[in-house]
Chains A and B, each alone.
Chain A
Amino acid sequence: MSFLKISNLYKNYGQVEILKDINIEIDKGGFLVLVGPSGCGKSTLLNTIAGLEPITSGEISINGNSVAGLHPSKRDIAMVFQSYALYPNMTVAGNIAFGMEIRGVPKDERDKAIKQVSDILQIGHLLDRKPSQLSGGQRQRVAMGRALVRNPQVFLFDEPLSNLDAKLRVDMRTEIKRLHQRMKTTIVYVTHDQIEAMTLASKIAVLKDGTLQQFGTPAEIYNSPANMFVADFMGSPAMNLLTARLENGEGGLNVMLERPGEKPLALPIKNANGVLGGYSGKEIIFGVRPEALTDPDGADRNARSIAEGECLIEVVEPAGSDTFAVTKLGGKEVVARLRADAAIHAGQKTKLAFNLDKAVFFDPKSQLRIA
């Protein structure tokens, strides 16, 4: 049975629909990440779970109990805000204990809880300081401490890492993951950073313009994106989405990709399914991630369907661990991800291997995935 369940949730501001028919369920101990571009409604969705914003219709339940209409403090949740929202006039200890103080927890019990939490987060030496005397990373820890000390049923994180510098963000990301593995409390986490979403989540919900685009495990979202938006949004560098034609030729169905000054590149699909066959002779959108487009020696040996083709390399970008190469197919720039020491040079033709196991196909009109 699902622990946190959001069903048919709508949220309007006056005439404007902010959230439309959201349905999400997550099991106890799960890590749900809400991801999407700015203004997609992910923070609003989190606020409705927290009870900070009322919902227009629908249902939110935690552990089988409906919480719609309950005051935030009665929902047994704790929230970490993007700006940390530490009370500026209180010390770190005061910040952590404020909720308990309001609930009338005795002083010695509060002190014990503060000690326990500050040990977990290693902020024991900061307890007497004011938030203004802390660095960004320390504030982040205190904000998490304030949430941890409540020992809630659900943690809510609203872009908690977006104010940290790049290195600290990666460290804190690992720390949050470790904390989750240790506490096993259900977490709902909002971010616009798809790498955070991939690394942390047990389930990802991708939102755009207030509608749920896809809800699934990170692997499902990454490998079988429901539509072109999800395919483009998740992954860095982004998936190559190319206009192509499907044609029946020798060896079955072929993906035909236009090339400048040459005849189209034909990639035979060995295990095409029936749905794809129905698109024979029509235009489709061919999606291939950069890591599925590599030098033939670096290609996945377990892949069942690999097609090779000569491509004119326009730009080579060595990134240390990999080398990215830009070529032009189907009228668009295509990024391929090669081994770091692959021998390629800009302006030369090189053989690239397309892993068609990992390729996805979209209908150009509906933008939905067909295979």
Chain B
Amino acid sequence: MSAASQDVATRNGIFARALIYAVLILFAVYYLLPLYVMVVNSLKPLDEIRQGNMLALPQQWTIAPWLSAWSTAQIGVSPTGLKPYFLNSVMMVVPAVALSTILGALNGYVLTKWRFKGDNIVFGLMLLACFIPFQIVLIPSARILGLTGLAGTITGLVLIHAIYGLGFTTLFFRNYYEAFPTELVRAAQIDGASFFQIFRRILLPSSGPIIVVTVIWQFTNIWNDFLFGSSFSGFNSIPLTVALNNLVNSSTGVKEYNVHFAGAILAALPTLIVYIVSGRYFVRGLMAGAVKG
């Protein structure tokens, strides 16, 4: 009797498991389908796409669309491909991410370990930055950039992105450092460490996980941003997202869908790589052993 019921239970278990996997695979396929279409069509000559079969594998494999998208495609008025704009984006994203992450970490440190009167109000105000829609700050930002002479430059874009990201980075680091044992900071104070020494030697080495989270978040947001890029960039500072739009939405000539697909993948590649590479460094337990046993 009990053996029989165990049998049933096992069979039920297998059935449930099969069902779970079936559903998971279905959803995985569903979400991967757009990527599949993009990759497949970026490797086809234009003629094959025109025949209308989007899901078919290429009959004739080619990387010409990729080369074209990277270096020769017509973007706006010049046939430069996405290459210079890719570099613009890199030059904008790296300093903006670094700046907002470092400042966010410092803010989090001050807001949790050097409490002052009204610190929660300051934090609340900074949080507003997370909720304000981009569009509201466009005109004030344009005015500031104009006054500082940074309008239309990559530096200007870095500044805007760094400031706009500060709300989020501060939130991340504050919440992380809130759980950081204050006794460690006190011990370091007694050891004579200064404000920045404590930050650099005690807090930062234990901040790996939250730095990774912040960098991924900031990198993705700034790299994918279109609004600030299209509003504040000049001729020499157009970021990749805006260039991609110019490539795809060009109203003259033949629509080269295979080149557009390749360009779109190129634009999405860095964020994908950041996810895949830094996701592995989400290490837990860095704090283990700091306090108690």
Name A's B-contacting residues (CB within 8 A).
50, 52, 71-73, 77-79, 81-89, 98-99, 102-103, 130-136, 139, 146, 163
**A99 partner, pick from B181, B192, B202, beta carbons under 8 A:** B192
Q: List 22 A-B contacts (CB under 8 A).
A: A50-B190, A72-B189, A73-B190, A77-B190, A79-B187, A83-B183, A83-B291, A84-B292, A85-B183, A85-B186, A85-B187, A87-B290, A88-B288, A89-B202, A98-B193, A99-B190, A99-B191, A99-B192, A103-B192, A132-B288, A133-B289, A163-B293
A71 and B188 CA atoms in complex are apart in Å by 12
A98-B293 in contact (CB<8A): no
**A88 partner, pick from B188, B189, B192, B206, beta carbons under 8 A:** B206
A88-B190 in contact (CB<8A): no
Does B249 make an interface contact (CB < 8 A)? no
A132 and B288 CA atoms in complex are apart in Å by 6
A87 and B183 CA atoms in complex are apart in Å by 10
B292-A83 in contact (CB<8A): yes
* Given A88-B286, A89-B206, A131-B290, A81-B183 contact (CB < 8 Å): yes
Complex interface: chain B residues within 8 A of A131 (CB): 289-290
Complex interface: chain A residues within 8 A of B181 (CB): 83, 85
A85-B191 in contact (CB<8A): no
A71 and B189 CA atoms in complex are apart in Å by 8
A82-B290 in contact (CB<8A): no
Closest to A158 in B: B183
B289-A72 in contact (CB<8A): no
A301 and B51 CA atoms in complex are apart in Å by 115
How many residues in B have their beta carbons less than 8 Å from beta carbons of A?
25
A73-B189 in contact (CB<8A): yes
A52 and B190 CA atoms in complex are apart in Å by 8
Does B236 make an interface contact (CB < 8 A)? no
Does B287 make an interface contact (CB < 8 A)? yes
Does B52 make an interface contact (CB < 8 A)? no
A86 and B290 CA atoms in complex are apart in Å by 5
* Given A87-B184, A88-B206, A72-B190 contact (CB < 8 Å): yes
A88-B293 in contact (CB<8A): no
Does B118 make an interface contact (CB < 8 A)? no
Min Cβ gap B1→A in Å is: 48
A84 and B187 CA atoms in complex are apart in Å by 9
Complex interface: chain A residues within 8 A of B188 (CB): 87, 98
Min Cβ gap B74→A in Å is: 52
> For residues 22 through 76 of chain B, which have their beta carbon under 8 Å from a beta carbon of chain A?
none
A72 and B190 CA atoms in complex are apart in Å by 5
Contact pattern, B 205-217, Cβ under 8 Å of A = 1, otherwise 0: 1100000000000
Complex interface: chain A residues within 8 A of B286 (CB): 88-89
A136 and B293 CA atoms in complex are apart in Å by 5
A73-B192 in contact (CB<8A): yes
Contact pattern, B 199-243, Cβ under 8 Å of A = 1, otherwise 0: 001100110000000000000000000000000000000000000
Closest to A73 in B: B192
A73 and B188 CA atoms in complex are apart in Å by 9
Does B278 make an interface contact (CB < 8 A)? no
B291-A85 in contact (CB<8A): yes
Min Cβ gap B204→A in Å is: 9
Closest to A86 in B: B290
Min Cβ gap A48→B in Å is: 13
Does B197 make an interface contact (CB < 8 A)? yes
Complex interface: chain B residues within 8 A of A102 (CB): 191-193, 197
A81 and B189 CA atoms in complex are apart in Å by 13
Complex interface: chain A residues within 8 A of B189 (CB): 52, 71-73
A146 and B184 CA atoms in complex are apart in Å by 13
Closest to A129 in B: B289
**A81 partner, pick from B187, B285, B288, beta carbons under 8 A:** B187
A130-B187 in contact (CB<8A): no
Closest to B186 in A: A52
* Given A85-B186, A87-B184, A73-B290 contact (CB < 8 Å): no
Can you list the 10 inter-chain pairs with the closest CB atoms, starting with the nearest? A132-B289, A73-B192, A99-B191, A89-B205, A136-B293, A83-B291, A88-B290, A85-B183, A131-B289, A85-B187
B289-A130 in contact (CB<8A): yes
A86 and B187 CA atoms in complex are apart in Å by 8
Contact pattern, B 166-205, Cβ under 8 Å of A = 1, otherwise 0: 0000000000000001011011111111000100011001
> For residues 141 through 187 of chain B, which have their beta carbon under 8 Å from a beta carbon of chain A?
181, 183-184, 186-187
A103 and B183 CA atoms in complex are apart in Å by 20
A84-B291 in contact (CB<8A): yes
Min Cβ gap A162→B in Å is: 10
Min Cβ gap B158→A in Å is: 30
A318 and B188 CA atoms in complex are apart in Å by 49
Complex interface: chain B residues within 8 A of A89 (CB): 202, 205-206, 286
> For residues 271 through 293 of chain B, which have their beta carbon under 8 Å from a beta carbon of chain A?
285-293
Complex interface: chain B residues within 8 A of A72 (CB): 186, 189-190
